[in-house]
């Protein structure tokens, strides 16, 4: 945690990606990996992001399509944390799906499999939300991601 008086960060507990402080300010790539100071990274997702369901899916899909699944996860997580209670399982599952893709693209198949399984556990059996992701289709994609096959991730309904 940053020291409130000095802003210094203790090395004992690294700050989370959404915390404030020097580490959180460092640029990241589309897979969430920290870059060296001065390197151009992907624009961070604002911590106070508030989007409706349709905007959330559209923005997350744009980020996935731009090879930024880590940032897509942050957009989906913001909706999970701030959206209606009745929708939280849905958004949590989609956020974890984006993290599963992130792990696969980072070269971490066991992490991808674990997150894909967890995401599918949240989404399996949920009906598709109006103008939302087809949860059955996302679960099929998660099976591919968990099996090490990267065909991307389609969560937004295409017009």
DSSP structure class, residue 86: G
Q: Are 150 and 101 in contact (CB under 8 A)?
A: yes
4 pLDDT higher than 80: no
Mean pLDDT value across residues 43-72: 94
For 39-50, write each residue's pLDDT tens digit: 989 999 998 999
Q: Determine the pLDDT at residue 159.
A: 54
Please give the pLDDT value at position 47: 85
pLDDT in tens, 75-132: 999 999 999 999 999 999 999 999 999 999 999 999 999 999 999 999 998 987 777 8
The dihedral over CA atoms of 90, 91, 94, 96, expressed in degrees to the nearest 10, equals -110
Q: Please state the φ and ψ torsions of residue 17, each to the nearest 5 degrees.
A: -60, -20
| Contact by Cβ (8 Å): 132, 157 | yes
Average pLDDT, the chain: 85
Tell me the pTM.
0.82
Domain ranges of the chain: 1-44, 53-146
CATH architecture of 53-146: Orthogonal Bundle (1.10)
**5-14, 17-26, 79-88, 99-108, range with greatest mean pLDDT:** 99-108
Q: What is the pLDDT of residue 158?
A: 57
């Amino acid at each position: 945690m940053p020291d409130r008086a000095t802003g210094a960060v203790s090395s004992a507990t690294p700050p989370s990606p959404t915390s404030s402080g020097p580490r959180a300010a460092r640029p990241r790539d589309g897979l969430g990996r920290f870059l060296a100071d001065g390197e151009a990274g992907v624009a961070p997702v604002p911590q106070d992001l508030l989007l409706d369901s349709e905007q959330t899916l559209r923005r997350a899909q744009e980020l996935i399509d731009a090879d930024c699944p880590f940032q897509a996860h942050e957009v989906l997580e913001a909706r999970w944390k701030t959206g209606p209670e009745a929708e939280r399982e849905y958004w949590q599952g989609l956020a974890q799906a984006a993290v599963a893709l992130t792990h696969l693209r980072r070269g971490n198949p066991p992490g991808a499999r674990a997150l894909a399984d967890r995401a599918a556990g949240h989404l399996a059996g949920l009906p598709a939300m109006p103008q939302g992701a087809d949860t059955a289709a996302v679960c099929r994609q998660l099976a591919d991601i968990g099996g090490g096959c990267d065909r991307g991730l389609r969560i937004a309904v295409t017009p």
